[in-house]
Every structure is written in structure tokens, then in C-alpha cells.
Amino acid sequence: MEIYAQTPEPPNKICRILTVALAFFLSYGAYLFAAAAWWFYNWYYALSALLLAFILIGILRSKLLHAFIPRVQQEFTYSDKDIAAWYLHSTLCFEAE
């Protein structure tokens, strides 16, 4: 039986900033894309960008969850901050081990 691991904590300040930035993008990226489309074009393009961004960021969130969270723990629900922490722990911020 495999033991469940806790969500990793970022080891330094740069990793904490990257974790918060990635979690912010996963949470509010669709709204930012829609606001930018509204600013540069009009509300019709903003609504289209919002729908497309929700789909694309949802796919990105799912890919990050399934690629970087251990397989036995994928049955749990993770927030965007947890997904960002697992991703950065697996790729950039692993020097604390």
C-alpha cells in the first residue's frame, strides 16, 4: 500500500512567487484574456475569448494534474495552488529534497 504524500511546500521565495503566479493564471487567466480582448476589440470577441480560454485553461489544468501529481493521489480534489505546487516541485523547485 502506497502512502499518500502531502502537497509540497515551495522551498524558497522564488518558488513561492512562481507558485502563486501559476495558481493565479490557472484561476483567473480566462478572465484576463477576456478583458484583454474586450480592451483591444469589442464585447463579442471578449465573450468568445472567455469561452475559449475556459476550455484551454481547463485542459491545461487537467494535463498538469495528471502528469505531475502521483497516480495514487489523483482521486483527491486539488486546488489550483496545489496543482501549481506539484508542477513546480516536479520541474523547477526540487532542490529541497
pTM for the model stands at 0.85
Q: How confident is the model at residue 95 (pLDDT cuts 50, 70, 90)?
A: low
Q: What are the tens digits of pLDDT across the range 64-85? A: 999 998 888 888 888 999 999 9
Query: Is the distance from CB of 81 to CB of 17 less than 8 angstroms?
Result: no
Cell numbers at residue 87, please? 508542477
- Residue 96's pLDDT is what? 46
How many CB atoms lie under 10 A from the CB of residue 73? 15
Q: How confident is the model at residue 1 (pLDDT cuts 50, 70, 90)?
A: low
The better pLDDT of the pair 83, 5 is held by 83
